[in-house]
Amino acid sequence: MKPQRISCKFFLHPDPTAPLELSPFIGMFHRFIQEKSLDGLLLDVADYAHVPNGPGILLVGHDVDYGIDLAEGRAGLLITRKRYGKLDAADALRAALGSALRAALIIEREGAGGVRFATSPLSIQLLDRLACPNDDAHYEQALAELSPVLSSVYGEKHEIARAHAEDPRKPLTLRVDAPDAASAEQLLDRLGG
C-alpha cells in the first residue's frame, strides 16, 4: 500500500465539541508562512470559518496542509501530508505523525486561541480512494502495515478501530484510542524526533 495522502487529526483537549474562536489562527498561520515555522513549503491561508462543521482555518502547503478543523462537530488540528512518492504506508504515517505532533507543540506554545490538543484519540485517514478504498480488505492491509508504527508510538495499550465502515464513499479512516497516551513531546521522541 502506497498512499499519496494521509491525514492525522488530534482533537482539542478537554472538549473538542466546545465552541472555538478561529480568528486568532489566521494571523498565526500567516506568521508561520513568514517564519517557516512548520514542516514543508507553506503557501497560503484560507478562512472557512463560515462553513458549519467544515475545514475551519487552513494553512495550505506544497507537501503538507495544516488546519484547525471543525469536521463532524469536533475541533482539532488536522494535517494532511501529500506527495509521498514511493514511500510505503508505514513510512508515510511516520512522516504525517511527525508533522502533526510538531505542529501541535508549536501551536500550543504560540498560545493563539488558548488551545491544547489531546494525543488520544487520533484519527488517521488514508485519502487515496483508488489506492486505499474503504473496504474490509484494505482496512486489514492498513492495519497490518500501520499497527507497528502505532505500537512504537503509543505502546501496547492502544486500540485501533475503523470509522465509517458502513460508507464506502468515505475515506478509509482509523481511530486510535490510547487511554494512557503520553504527551506530544514523548510521542515525538518515540517516533524518532
pLDDT, tens digit (0-9, with 9 covering 90-100), for 10-42: 999 999 999 999 999 999 999 999 999 999 999
Q: Would you give the DSSP letter of residue 18?
A: S
**What is the pLDDT at residue 73?**
96
Instruction: With a cut of 90, say whether residue 151 has pLDDT above it.
Output: yes
Could you tell me which residue, 101 or 129, shows the higher pLDDT?
A: 101
**What is the pLDDT at residue 112?**
80
Arithmetic mean of pLDDT over the chain: 95
Measured between alpha carbons, how far is 132 from 113 in angstroms, rounded to an integer? 35
User: What mean pLDDT do residues 154-182 have?
Assistant: 95
Residue pLDDT, tens place only, 99-119: 999 999 999 999 887 899 999
Angle at 80 between CA 189 and CA 58, to 5 degrees: 115
Domain containing residue 137: 5-191
**What is the pLDDT at residue 50?**
96
Residue 76, strand partner residues: 11, 69
Could you tell me which residue, 64 or 128, shows the higher pLDDT?
A: 64
Q: Considering the chain, what percentage of its residues have pLDDT values greater than 90?
A: 89
**What is the pLDDT at residue 27?**
96
Q: Please return the burial class of 7, using the count of CB atoms within 10 Å of its CB with bins 0-12, 13-18 and 19+.
A: buried
Domain count, the chain: 1
Instruction: With a cut of 90, say whether residue 158 has pLDDT above it.
Output: yes
User: What mean pLDDT do residues 140-156 have?
Assistant: 96
**What is the pLDDT at residue 16?**
97
Instruction: With a cut of 80, say whether residue 193 has pLDDT above it.
Output: no
Which of 142, 178, 173 is CA-nearest to residue 157? 178
